[in-house]
Amino acid sequence: MFGAAALVVLVLAIVLLRGSWFATERDIAFSDFLSAVEAGKVQQVAIGDQALTVTLRGGRRVRTIPPTGYVSASPAFVSDLVHRQIHVVVQPRSEAGAFSFGAMLLALGFFALVGFTIYRVTAGRIPSLESRARVADGETPAVTFADVAGVDEAKDEVKEVVDFLREPEKFAAIGGRMPKGVLLVGPPGTGKTLLARSIAGEASAPFLFASGADFVEMYAGVGASRVRKLFREASKHKSCILFIDELDAVGRQRGGNSLSHEEREQTLNQLLVEMDGFAAHQGVVVIAATNRPDILDPALLRPGRFDRQVMVGCPDLKGREAILKVHTKKVPLAPGVDLRTIARGTPGFSGADLANLVNEAALLAARHGSTVIDDRVLDEARDKVLMGVERRSMVITEKERVNCAYHEAGHALVASVLPNADPLHKVTIIPRGRALGVTMQLPEADRHTHTKDFLETQVAVLMGGRVAEELFMGHMTSGASNDIERATEIAQKMVCEYGMSPLGPLMFRKSAGNAWDGDRAAGLSEDTARRVDDEVRTIVMRGYETARQILQHHRPAMTAVAEQLLEVESLDGGELKAIVDRFATRVN
Ligand code: ADP
Ligand code: MG
Ligand code: ZN
């Protein structure tokens, strides 16, 4: 009896998923559909969830599948059809969108019958609430690292996961400590999901997918039970990737008081329990993605959980060119098309935007009846995608960009000239979060204590940004506020905690509220407080002066670095050093 019911469910599942069991429509290529429109052969188009059902003149019906998101992303598409006096019908959004009304009725009847059977067999326990969780089937994705471009650092960082997944036991035997959880952090469309899939693809490991939003339901307990189920599924494989997209949907800090917070907390707690529950050798690696690491519950980031964070940023010029190369591999590119030029014209585009651009170009080419994608079509596609990009991302004026380039070049140059500075890792003027640009230094070894020289150098490097603005742009911007805050903080510690000022090796306590006051209880006389202030000021100003001298002296190198930044958007330590060296020899 139960076996029979299971069989019926299976058949039904196939029908629902494929939709084509009843459907009589023949599938045609999307480009053929566009040609048919062009040729005036189309009478009606019914826009479904995933497919377009096309009625041709003469009554024949065919089906075609547009690229994902194409219809919603191309408002001109529908108006174009209407213009051609084609009847446009939009089918209600539903999973059944792909097949006809009659088939739907039939399926409904089926469903009622099967539901009733299951109801009787399982005495009322219908597990349908749980099974909606979008847990992918654990297939091995076909994508590899070759499909992910422009994020080389992130790829390097996750290579270890691949080694581990290939041979978990061996990895453990040679003492490799595998993080259980890897958190991919970056803005939407930069390839986080793609990267996670490619890790599984590289390692030939199954890939289980769930989205944080799937866990957040209004029914108490459903989310937690879905988490449990997901991990149970994962533990069935020898090794696998369990990917949780949009982790922030479940992983927000606990303690809110919205209606759904209790349910979310339960779900989050279950996730923590499950992550603690499986041993590292089990071969399950949990990878999660988010663009809001700042709102995650700190418990998620503790050792043994998502203790490794990998940044997946927006691509720079080189990165964009590499991504374009990946996506144009599958389309007929006209000879002479220079991807570098396209990359140059698409600052701020994410990987997804670039993929979209290539898609649009292919469609436009098809619509123009062309067999190759040329510069003109690529340009047109870019303008189309650009609208979406601008709406989403911070719009930066050219002036701000130039200012940012000089600001970051200032930090970088001071850091590369002063002997005690940490080596320069990367300078970029690609905005991330709220910052317009970043200069990153990487310590050669973990530092536990800092020398006075090192701290003074840090202050000078921090001042480099502001000094550059003054020297080269002739103005000051508020962009230096974070630098100023950090420099002041370092100087305060040097004076008040580390005893590195003429005031001597004494601890000067600061009262709460971040203001100095002469409160005797704090051990500071009014006079001392003023002297502390003076010393802090002296240290910061000395750093400012150091930075000013360096940047004055290296003017040509500064300009060269800033111009190069404007051109390619990011430089690594070696590239920067090459520029500085070139000018150093010329000056002498
Ligand atoms: P995210 O998960 O970060 O929002 P996705 O991985 O979903 O981004 O990216 C969506 C699509 O955009 C990918 O399937 C791919 O076609 C394209 N894409 C995004 N980033 C890259 C990249 N770095 N290299 C190649 N393609 C990319
Ligand atoms: Mg994603
Ligand atoms: Zn700065």
Q: CB within 8 A of 19, min separation 6: which ones?
A: 96, 98, 99
Nearest C-alpha neighbor of 161 from the set 283, 48, 282, 72: 283
Q: CB within 8 A of 370, min separation 6: which ones?
A: 377
**If you search the block for the tokens 């500085």, which residue do you land on?**
580
The model's confidence at residue 70, banded by pLDDT at 50, 70 and 90, is confident
The secondary structure of residue 423, as a DSSP letter, is P
Tally Cβ neighbours within 10 Å of residue 13. 10
Domain span at 370: 317-387
Angstrom distance (rounded) from CA 330 to CA 355: 11
Q: Which bound ligand lies closest to the C-alpha atom of 462?
A: 3
Q: What length does the chain have?
A: 588
Angstrom distance (rounded) from CA 131 to CA 216: 14
Q: At what angle do helices 351-367 and 30-38 cross, to 10 degrees?
A: 40
Angstrom distance (rounded) from CA 419 to CA 396: 34
Alpha-carbon distances of 457 from 354, 419, 547, rounded to whole Å = 41, 9, 9
Both 474 and 531 in a single domain? Answer: yes
Both 214 and 326 in a single domain? Answer: no
- Specify the ligand 1 atom closest to the Cα of 245: 2
For the cut 90, the answer to whether the pLDDT of residue 525 exceeds it is no
**Domain closes at, from 311, 343, 368:** 311
For residue 542, the Cα-to-chain-centroid distance in whole angstroms is 40
The model's confidence at residue 432, banded by pLDDT at 50, 70 and 90, is low
Q: In angstroms, what is the span from residue 363 Cα to ligand 3's centroid?
A: 43
**If you search the block for the tokens 């099967």, which residue do you land on?**
114
* Amino acid identity for residue 111 in this structure: F
Higher pLDDT among residues 263 and 118, named by residue: 263
**Domain closes at, from 259, 287, 311:** 311
Tally Cβ neighbours within 10 Å of residue 429. 29
Residues 82, 88 contacting (CB under 8 angstroms): yes
The secondary structure of residue 566, as a DSSP letter, is H
- Specify the ligand 1 atom closest to the Cα of 194: 6
Of all helices (H) and strands (E), which one includes residue 211?
A: strand 207-211
Mean pLDDT of the chain: 82
Both 72 and 203 in a single domain? Answer: no
What tens digit of pLDDT does each residue of 18-62 get? 544 444 577 888 888 888 888 788 888 888 877 888 888 877 888
CATH label of the domain that carries residue 40: 3.30.720.210
The model's confidence at residue 124, banded by pLDDT at 50, 70 and 90, is very low
Structure tokens that stand for 429 in this block: 């003027």
What tens digit of pLDDT does each residue of 545-564 get? 999 999 999 999 999 999 99
Both 272 and 345 in a single domain? Answer: no
287 lines ligand 1 (CB under 6 A): no
Nearest C-alpha neighbor of 33 from the set 52, 49, 50, 46: 52
Both 31 and 157 in a single domain? Answer: no
Structure tokens that stand for 558 in this block: 């500064």
Ligand 1 mutation target, pool 147, 194, 209, most atoms within 8 A of CB: 194
- Classify residue 21: in a domain, yes or no: yes
* Amino acid identity for residue 298 in this structure: P
Residue 408: active-site member: yes
Q: Which of 408, 456, 469, 535 is catalytic?
A: 408
